[in-house]
Amino acid sequence: MRIFLSLRFNIGLLCALILASAAGTFLPQSTEDPARVEEFIAVHPSLGPLFRLLGLFDLYHSPWFLALWAVIVLDIALCKLSSLPGPASDETAEDLEEAARSRPLSGRWTVPDQAKAFAAATDLLASLGYRVRRLATGTMPMASSAELHGLQAWGSLVAHASLVAILAGGLLKGLFGFHEFVAAAEGGTAPVTGRPGWIIGVTDFSVERYEDTGANKRFTTRLAVYEHGRLVEEKDIRVNDPLSVPGLTFYQDSWGATGMWRSASLAWPDRELELSKDGPMADPESGARFSADLYAADFGITADGRPDNLTTEPRNPALRVTESPRKGQARTWWLLEREPAAAFIEDASGVLHEAPPPAFRLASVDPVLFSGVQAVHDPGYPLVLGGSLAWLAGMVLNFYLHRRRILVVALAQPGREARLCVGALSSRGPAAFKEDFDRLIARMREVSS
Amino acid sequence: MMESVLFQIASALYVAGTGLGFVYLYNRDERLSRWMHNLLAVGVVFHLASSGIRLKHFWDIPENRWYLPVNSFFGALSAMALAITATFVVVEGRHRLGILGAFVLPWACLAALGGVFRVHSMGDTEIYGLAPALQSYWMNIHPLVIMVAYAVFGNAFGVGVALLVQERQLRSKRPQELCYRLPSIEELDTLNYRLVAAGFPVLTVGIIMGGIWAHNAWGRFWGWDAKETWSLITALVYAVFLHQRLVKGWRGRKAVYTSMLGFACVVFTFVGVNFLSRLHGYLSAR
């Protein structure tokens, strides 16, 4: 228990969190790029397996990293419970005058009348907005504790408690929520495996791009959500504009090409031929028959010479077209929409061979796109949101409020003049309050004499 | 074109103002401090004019309408230079600490010159259409809040350097005149703390806003993206500073080193992480 209250231990925990978090940004993470993890292991055959064993390739979800967070939460809870704000110890001190004098800022002077001076001093504090509380000291001496912006004392507690709430929100999502990527082709449906019986349907999908950079401008999915075949909700969703149904929210995440196509055409210098998905189409001029099957959105070639689709974005669209001439052998072409001068022939074993371009080219191809949606059930989010607001409140209280506590003690001295003793504490340190305190003492002297 | 010309004039004025700040370190002539202030103020005016033109061109793209143009590295550098200078002008104006110009303003100059370099290397001021995820009202809040925090930390770093210089002067057997012109170690220490204490809540609230935005966009509050992670690391380093200062009473050099480490994290988060982050990579913002 004592170790949790030690500042050195707390700082050690924070440093461990800093180092672990930083390590995860330099090492490849399997959740982001599994291929890079495998590459790292291949390049570092001795370190790689060790790192894998330590969970460094999925660092932020590794048991030891989660355990570190758990210890931090426990540490915060214990530290804050042991230091709940309460009355200052000197307010209950037997020797109140000594308590006032020992404060970092203090003043002491004689007054003609103990009761009048005490009342004037406390009235002045009250008029300045201080919350004045008479200390139960009997009749002698008279003492009051005055406080301005006392809420500041709760700032640290609120801020730390809010951190626990935010982390608890994350834990709730981990335990009872789910986060699932669901992709459905245009006009198609896909199940939400985390919610049996629920499916999404992409009724329509559209994408717009900036002309100058080719970057995504906007993509919209007409999304329908079904529960056991019953339509629950339908809406156009975009990034930043999700669809929510009770207990589940669907966020627009990504899009890409499915590998299927809707329509395509071949062109000769003097004619065009529309291809069909249902079967080969004959070119009336040459008598050859043409059919197409595979679509690659971002055509590439693997190291062993086979066709590859590098990404799902249509950066280098290509179509596999089979040409069956009236006489001779059929040939399988890969034709690139944006590079008509390039063409490849695929042999029976699936290997590509560069070939002079045929007499025809791929004039157009309209791919079937898919819409990627994140289906999320996050029961912890309200806690995270509430914790965030509490954090904001805690920070404002802690750093932007200036808590000042003043102890006023009036003593009657037999046979001599009475004495007024004032001591002050400031949440920002004595230097930040000194000027104001000196002015306050000057006014107190004025009103008490 | 006009935008980049005005920006370069503003940058030149910042550099000149910083130069005067350095001269003022060794020369008591108060006119130098006034001129530094005036040059910075005129620089800010030119910078604002440049930003106004940038905003107009940015808003010519319908998807960008009503959003701030900080989705590119140039835009971020420009905003950062403006934020650091403006923060310095405010702090300097309140505390009459023109002497700190030489310590704080180099960061504004670095950001501004980085912007000039970026314009020359890219050939334009990088006005692009916003990606779908950035078309949100959070675009006007989250980056701005984070940049204000960074600017405040930049000022704290400069104050920390001044404190180290002052401490060195006091330890030397023959302190130079600079020793008598810099504020006392106590004042610099308090200012360093107050700047960090002002910046820390702003940074953490900015990070939380980013989390809320990410939840609205993709359904997750936190994704351990490199930028998110490094901004958390930055906040943790400053949290260490604040705990050591408030609980253990750290003062002077130790506290300044921690605060400086925090600013090193800020710089890495702002520049270095662009090479690591997928979501926040300005360098691949096209």
| The predicted structure's pLDDT at residue A3 | 82
Pick the residue of A25, A75, A173 with the most B CBs within 10 A to test the interface with B by mutation. Answer: A25
DSSP A13-75: HHHHHHHHHHHHHHS--TTT-HHHHHHHHHH-TTHHHHHHHTTGGGGGGSHHHHHHHHHHHHH
pLDDT band (50, 70, 90) for residue A86: low
Give mean pLDDT, residues B81-86: 90
> Considering only CB atoms, which chain B residues are within 8 Å of A60?
224
Give the DSSP H/E element, type plus range, for residue A142.
strand A142-148
Task: Please judge whether B63 and A24 are an interchain contact, meaning their C-beta atoms are less than 8 angstroms apart.
Answer: no
Q: What is the pLDDT of residues A328-369, one digit of tens each?
A: 889 999 999 999 889 999 999 999 999 998 999 999 999 999
How distant is the Cα of B40 from the closest Cα of chain A, in angstroms?
29
- Which residue is it, tokens 């072409």? A333
Determine the pLDDT at residue A306.
95
Chains A, B: CB pairs < 8 Å: 120
List chain A residues with CB under 8 Å of B126.
Answer: none
Q: Are A14 and B201 an interchain contact pair (Cβ–Cβ within 8 Å)?
A: no
- The answer to whether the CB atoms of A217 and B205 lie below 8 A apart is no
Instruction: Measure A118 CA to nearest chain B CA, in Å.
Output: 33
Chain B: residue whose CA lies nearest to A376? B219
Quick check: B267 pLDDT over 80?
Answer: yes
Alpha-carbon gap, residue A263 to A371, rounded angstroms: 19
Domain locations along chain A: 2-82, 93-149+402-448, 176-256+371-390, 259-362
Question: Is B58 in contact with B64 (CB distance < 8 Å)?
Answer: yes
Nearest to B132 among A15, A239, A378 (CB): A239
- Residue A388 to residue B236, Cβ atoms within 8 A: no
Strand partners, A189: A201
Distance of residue B121 Cα from the nearest chain A Cα, in angstroms: 18
Task: Classify the C-alpha dihedral B127-B130-B135-B136 as positive or negative.
Answer: negative
Amino acid identity, residue A245? V
Residue A347 to residues A305, A306, A344, A353, B187, Cα–Cα distance (Å): 11, 10, 10, 8, 80
Q: What is the mean pLDDT of chain A?
A: 91
Angle at the Cα of A47 (from A45 to A48), degrees rounded to 5? 65
CB within 8 Å: B63 and A218 = yes
> For position A139, what pLDDT does the model report?
58
CB A7 to CB B243 under 8 A? yes
Q: How confident is the model at residue A91 (pLDDT cuts 50, 70, 90)?
A: low
Amino acid A92: pLDDT: 57
Rounded to an integer, what distance in angstroms lies between the CA atom of residue A311 and that of residue A292? 20
| Of B217, B220, B248, Cβ closest to residue A179 | B220
Chain A CB contacts of B240 under 8 Å are 11, 14-15
Is 90 exceeded by the pLDDT of residue B123? no
Question: How many whole angstroms from its chain centre is CA A401?
Answer: 28
A-chain CB neighbours of B129 within 8 Å are 210, 212-213, 215, 217
Q: Which pLDDT score, from 0 to 100, does residue A402 have?
A: 92
Q: What is the mean pLDDT of residues A391-407?
A: 92
Give phi and psi for A48, each to the nearest 5.
-50, -55
Q: What is the ipTM of this complex?
A: 0.85
Any idea which residue has 């660092």 for tokens? A59
- Return the residue of A nearest to B276 by Cα: A25
Q: Decide if pLDDT at A93 tops 60.
A: no
SS3 string, B12-55, reads HHHHHHHHHHHHHHHCCCHHHHHHHHHHHHHHHHHHHHHHHHHH
Any idea what the Cα angle at residue B103 is, between residues B176 and B15, rounded to 5°? 115
Q: Looking at the predicted structure, is the pLDDT value of residue A389 above 90?
A: yes
Instruction: Indicate if the pLDDT at residue A114 is higher than 90.
Output: no
Q: How is residue A185 written in tokens?
A: 């082709």
Alpha-carbon dihedral sign for residues B239, B240, B241, B244: positive
Which segments of A150-231 does DSSP mark as H helices, in order? 152-176
Confidence band of A137 (pLDDT split at 50, 70, 90): low
When pLDDT is averaged across residues A287-293 and rounded to a whole number, the result is 93
SS (H, E, C) B227-254: HHHHHHHHHHHHHHHHHHHHCCCCCHHH
pLDDT digits (tens, 9 = 90+) for A414-449: 778 888 999 999 988 888 899 999 999 999 999 988
Residues β-bridged to residue B66: none
Task: Choose the weakest-confidence range: A4-8, A174-178, B190-194, B274-278.
Answer: B274-278
Hey, are the CB atoms on A170 and B221 less than 8 Å from each other? yes
Q: Tell me the mean pLDDT in the region A159-163.
A: 94
Cα Rg, chain B, nearest whole Å: 19
Nearest to B229 among A24, A253, A384 (CB): A24
CA angle A50, A52, A56 (to 5 degrees): 105
Q: Please give the pLDDT value at position A89.
A: 58
Q: Is the pTM of this model over 0.90?
A: no
* C-alpha to C-alpha distance for B280 and B207, rounded to whole angstroms: 13
Strands of the sheet containing A142-148, edge to edge, are: A105-111, A418-426, A404-411, A142-148, A131-134
Q: Which residues of A touch B230 (CB under 8 A)?
A: 22, 25
Nearest to A391 among B208, B226, B273 (CB): B208
> Would you say residue B286 has pLDDT above 50?
no
Using 50, 70 and 90 to split pLDDT, how confident is the model at A2?
A: confident
Across B168-189, average pLDDT: 85
- Distance between CA atoms of residues B266 and B151, nearest Å: 10
A248/chain B closest Cα distance in angstroms:
10
CA–CA gap between residue A70 and residue A350 (Å, rounded): 53
Tell me A238's DSSP state: B
Q: Which residue would you say has higher pLDDT here, B11 or A8?
A: B11
Predicted local confidence at residue A177, as pLDDT: 93
Distance from CA of B237 to the nearest CA of A (A): 8
Nearest to A388 among B212, B243, B278 (CB): B212
Q: Which residue of A has its CA nearest to B227?
A: A25
Cβ–Cβ gap B236/A18 under 8 Å: yes
Q: Name, of B23-37, B205-219, B248-262, the range with top average pLDDT.
A: B205-219
Please state at what angle helix B73-95 crosses helix B30-59, rounded to 10 degrees: 150
Min Cα distance A205 → chain B (Å) is 15
Distance, CA of B128 to CA of B281 (rounded, Å):
14
> Are A396 and B202 contacting, i.e. CB atoms less than 8 angstroms apart?
no
Do the chains contact at B229 and A25, CB–CB below 8 Å? yes
Residues of B whose CB is below 8 A from A31: 224
- Across chain B, what does the average pLDDT equal? 89
d(C-alpha A276, C-alpha A289), whole Å: 11
Fold of B136-286: Four Helix Bundle (Hemerythrin (Met), subunit A) (1.20.120)
Q: Residue B281 pLDDT > 70, yes or no?
A: no
| Neighbour tally for A191: CB within 10 Å | 16
User: What pLDDT, on a 0 to 100 scale, did the predictor assign at position B285?
Assistant: 41
Give the phi and the psi of residue A384 in degrees, each rounded to 5: -65, -45
8 Å CB contact of A11 and B135: no
Q: Give the position of tokens 């210089």.
A: B165
Name the fold adopted by A93-149+402-448.
TATA-Binding Protein (3.30.310)
Residue A162 CB contacts under 8 Å (≥ 6 apart), including other chains:
A387, A388, A389, A390, A391, A393, A394
Residue B167 has pLDDT above 70, yes or no: yes
Query: Quick one: pLDDT at residue B27?
Result: 84
Task: List residues bridging with A373 in a β-sheet.
Answer: A182, A252
- The more confidently predicted of residues B53 and B125 is B53
- For the CA atoms of B225, B229, B234, B235, what is the dihedral angle to 10 degrees? 110
CB contact under 8 A, A395 and B205: yes
Parallel, antiparallel, or unpaired: how do β-strands A248-268 and A404-411 relate? unpaired
Q: Where are the domains of chain B?
A: 1-130, 136-286
Tell me if A217 and B247 make a contact (CB, 8 A cut-off): no
